[in-house]
Structure 1
Amino acid sequence: MLRRRSCILSHHLSSSSASPIPFPFHRFLSVAASAVSPKPSFDVKEYLVATCGLTRAQALKASTKISHVKSPSNPDAVLAYLAGLGLSSADVGALVAKDPRFLCTSVDKTLTPNLVELTGLGLSHSQITCLLLLAPDCFRGKPIVSSLPYCLSLLGSYENLLRVIKHNSGILNSSLEKVVKPNVALLQECGLGDCDIAKLCIAKPRMLATNLERLQEMVACAEGLGVPRGSVMFRHALCAVASLSNEKITAQVDNLKNTFRWSDAEVRIAVSKLPLILSRSKDILQRRSEFLISEVGLEPAYIAYRPAMLSYSLEGRLRPRYYVLKFLKENGLLDHGRDYHTAVACTEKVFVEKFICPHKEAAPHLAEDYEAACRGEVPTRFRFA
C-alpha cells in the first residue's frame, strides 16, 4: 500500500513544475486520504503491521498510544507524505514504532507548514529528513521551527544538533524563553562560554532541557565538591554530577576515601582535577588502586594530586609502561628518580621516543616486549638478549 502511494506521489512530483520537495501537495494528499473509505471496524494493530511494517510486538505496544484512531484516513495521508519525502519502508516503520502518534498529525496544518518553514531556514531536504527520523515528535508541533535557529547557533553546527537530539530531543521541544535560555544564562554566569555549553549539551543532552532549579542544584553540587565556578574543570564537574543523585555522590566520595586511603582534603583535590572520577565503577577504581599503590608503590597523596592516571587503561597503558620503567631502572638504563606519572601521561609516540628508542642497542628486545605487554601478553621478564 505504501509503495503504491509512493508511486502515485512520484508521478505527481514529476509532472509538477514546483520545487522537488513535496510540501506544496496538500490538495493531493487530502484527495488521497478521502479516497480511502474507512472500515466499519478499524483495527489499529493490523494496520500497523500490514501498512507500516511493524512486528506484532511493536504494533501491540504502539497501538496503545493511538487507540483512539478509528479510521485510516489521517494515517494514510501521513504515510503518503512520508513516501513523498523519499523515506523507505524500513524508515517509515522505525519512525512509527518510535512515535506512533506521528500518524495522527495533520499533514495540512502541521507537517507541510513545518517543512516549508524549515526549508526557508536553509535546511536541505536530507537534513530535514534526518531531523524527522531522529525526532519525529518535534514535527508534531511548531516548537521545532521556532527553536531550531537558536539551537543551531548555540550548538555551533547542524552535526552537533543531530548528536544532541539523537539521545534527547528535549532541547527542541522545550520552551526557549522559560527553559533553555534561562539554563544557558546560568551556565554563562558560571563562566562557561558558548563552546563549553555546546560540549556540555552534547555530552549531556538533557542538561538544557531540565528545569532551572535542577540545574542550580547541579551547580551547587559541583562547587561543593571543590570545583569552583570559572575553573577549567567546572564543565566536567557538571557533566559528572548531572546523572548522579546526592546519595550516589556521597557513596562515591566514601568509596574513593576507602579505596585510595584518601583524606577528605585529598578527595576534594582529586575530584577538582578529575571530576569524572565520580562516574568510575568500584571495580575499575579498586583495580587501579591495587596496582598503583600495592604494585607500583605510589603514595595515596601522589595519586590524589595526579588523578588523571586513574583515567588511563590499566592493561594498555599503566601496566606496560610500568614494566618498561622497572626494567630500565633495574638494569641501570634509567635514573631511579624518573617520575612514573611523567611516563604514563605522555603520548604513545613520546613514550616510545624517550623510553624505548634510546635503548635499542642495550636492550634490543625492549620494543618487542613492550608491544607484547600492551597486548596483554606480558613476558615473565623483559629481556636483554
Structure 2
Amino acid sequence: MMVGCLRKALVLQVRFTLSASSTRQSLRFLLHHLYPFSSISTSGKSQSFTVSYLIDSCGLSHKDALSASKFFCFETPDKPNSVLAFFDSHCFSKSQISKIVKSLPRLLASDPDKTLLPKLQFFYSKGASRPDVTKIVVSTPGILYRSLENQIIPSFNFFKEFLQSDEMAITVIKRFSRILLFDLHTYVASNINALQEFGVPKSNIAGLLMNRPMAFMVRPNLFRENLEEVKKMGFNPSQMKFVIAIHAIRAMGKSTWERKIDVYKRWGWSEEEIRLAFIKLPRCMTHSEDKIMATMDFFVNKMGRESSLIARRPLLISLSLEKRIIPRYSVIQVLLSKGLIKNDTSLVVLFESTEKMFLRKFVNGYKKEAPQLMKLYQEKINLSEKQDSLQEGSGDC
C-alpha cells in the first residue's frame, strides 16, 4: 500500500516538474523502472514492432517471434535490415536466414562488417566454399557470436595441427560445427590422448575425428570406460574397427543400446550372435530400430531367408532398402518367375556385390530372356533418387 502511494506521488511529481520537451522520455524511463511488467512501459511498442518485424521480414511464426521478443527488441528496422541484407549477399536462402534468426535473434543487432563478416572471411580463407560456410553457420549460428581470435582461430588451429591440413580441419567443422563452441582441451585433446595410450594409430584417430567428431565430445573418464569396454569385447586397438566401435557406443545411450539388442533378439539372434555381428561390423548397432526391423522383415518374411544367416552377414543390415535391396529384388523376382535363377541364390551375391557385377550377372546376362530388366531396375533406382531429392533443401546461390 505504502509503495503504491509513493509510486503515484513520484509519477505526479514528474508530470508537473519536467519540461514539456522531456516529459515523455523521462516519464517512460521512470515508468519502466516503477512498473517493469506494465503494458504501458516503453518495451510495449518496441516488442510489438519486433514481433511484427520477425514475422514479416524473417519468416518466424507468431509464437517464435513473441518468444524472441522477450529477450531482444528494437524500435527501427535499420540494423536488422543490414543483417538480413548481409546474409542475403552471402547466399543464405530465406529459410536459412529464418532458421538463424529463430536460433539466435540477437544477431539482428550485430554490426555485419565488424561482427559477422570476419568469421565468414576466415572460413573462406581456409578453403571453405560458400555452401560450406552456409552449412556451418546455419547449423551453429552461435559461432558468429564467439570471439574469432580467442575461440574460433585457436580451435581451427588445433584441428589443423593434428590433421595436418586446412581441408581436413574444415571437414571436421562441417561435420559437427558446434565443436567450435567447446573447450577442445577439456574434451577432444584429452580423449585423443586416451586413444593414443590404448595404442590406436594416429591415422585411425584422425579418421574418427573427421568422420565422427561428436564421438570426442564426452567426459574423459567416461570415454576411457568406453575404450575399456570395447577392448574387452575383443576389438584390436590397432584396427579401424576399434574406433568405429567407439563411435557406435558413443552414438547412443545405454537404454538405446539395450533396445537395439532386444530388436535383434526378437528375430531370434542370441547374445553371442549379436556380439559377433558387432565385432564384424560395428555400425550394425548404429542403425535405427525401424531400419533394423524393416530390413530384417524384408529378408526373413518377404524373401524367406533364415535370420541366423543375416547374423553371420551383418553388412546386409546396413544396405539401403530403397536404393539397393528393393531395386535388386525387383530384378530377382522377374528372374525367379522365369526360372532363370534358383531361389537359394546367395544373399551376398545378390546384394553385397558391386553395382557393376550385379548388372553384368543379373541384368545384362539375361538381355534376351528378360529384356525389360534394365528398365525395371532403373525405374526403381530413379524412384529412390526422386524421394531423396524431395527431402533435400537448397541453399546455394
TM-score, normalising length: structure 2: 0.63
Distance apart, 1:198 and its partner CA: 5.5
Distance apart, 1:273 and its partner CA: 1.9
Distance apart, 1:135 and its partner CA: 3.5
Cα distance change on mapping 1:114 and 1:127 into 2, 3 Å: farther
Distance, in Å, in 1 between the alignment partners of 2:117 and 2:290 is 53
Report the counterpart of residue 39 of structure 2 in structure 1: none
Specify which of 100, 109, 115 is matched with residue 111 of structure 1.
Answer: 115
Distance, in Å, in 2 between the alignment partners of 1:112 and 1:282 is 41
Deviates more, 1:215-224 or 1:124-133: 124-133
Specify which of 183, 187, 191 is matched with residue 175 of structure 1.
Answer: 183
String of CA shifts for 1:254-273, please: whole Å, max 9, x gaps. Answer: 321331x2222211111112
Specify which of 45, 67, 71 is matched with residue 61 of structure 1.
Answer: 67
Deviates more, 1:83-92 or 1:165-174: 83-92
Distance apart, 1:172 and its partner CA: 0.8
Distance, in Å, in 1 between the alignment partners of 2:132 and 2:355 is 42
Where is the helix percentage greater, Structure 1 or Structure 2?
A: 2
Checking the alignment, whether the CA contact within 8 Å between 2:51 and 2:65 is kept in structure 1 is: yes
- Matches of residues 68-217 of structure 1 in structure 2 within 5 Å? 80=82, 86=89, 90=94, 94-102=99-107, 111=115, 118=122, 130=134, 132=137, 134-142=139-147, 143-152=151-160, 168-189=176-197, 196-197=204-205, 200-201=208-209, 204-217=212-225
Checking the alignment, whether the CA contact within 8 Å between 1:292 and 1:298 is kept in structure 2 is: yes
Distance, in Å, in 1 between the alignment partners of 2:275 and 2:224 is 20
Distance, in Å, in 2 between the alignment partners of 1:272 and 1:146 is 37
Report the counterpart of residue 275 of structure 2 in structure 1: 268
Distance apart, 1:316 and its partner CA: 1.8
Report the counterpart of residue 46 of structure 1 in structure 2: 48
Cα distance change on mapping 1:285 and 1:236 into 2, 3 Å: same
Distance, in Å, in 2 between the alignment partners of 1:247 and 1:126 is 40
Identity %: 22
Distance, in Å, in 2 between the alignment partners of 1:62 and 1:288 is 43
SS of equivalent residue, structure 2 residue 240:
coil
Pairwise CA RMSD of aligned residues? 4.8
Report the counterpart of residue 36 of structure 2 in structure 1: none
Q: Structure 1, unaligned stretches of length 5 or more? A: 1-36, 378-385
Q: Which has the higher contact order (CA 8 A, sep 6+)?
A: 2
Specify which of 310, 329, 351 is matched with residue 319 of structure 1.
Answer: 329
Q: Structure 2, unaligned stretches of length 5 or more? A: 1-24, 30-41, 384-397
Cα distance change on mapping 1:282 and 1:180 into 2, 3 Å: closer
Checking the alignment, whether the CA contact within 8 Å between 1:356 and 1:367 is kept in structure 2 is: yes
Cα distance change on mapping 1:122 and 1:230 into 2, 3 Å: closer
Distance apart, 1:181 and its partner CA: 1.5
Distance apart, 1:308 and its partner CA: 1.0
Checking the alignment, whether the CA contact within 8 Å between 2:363 and 2:374 is kept in structure 1 is: no
Distance, in Å, in 2 between the alignment partners of 1:127 and 1:318 is 34
TM-score, normalising length: structure 1: 0.64
Checking the alignment, whether the CA contact within 8 Å between 2:128 and 2:170 is kept in structure 1 is: no
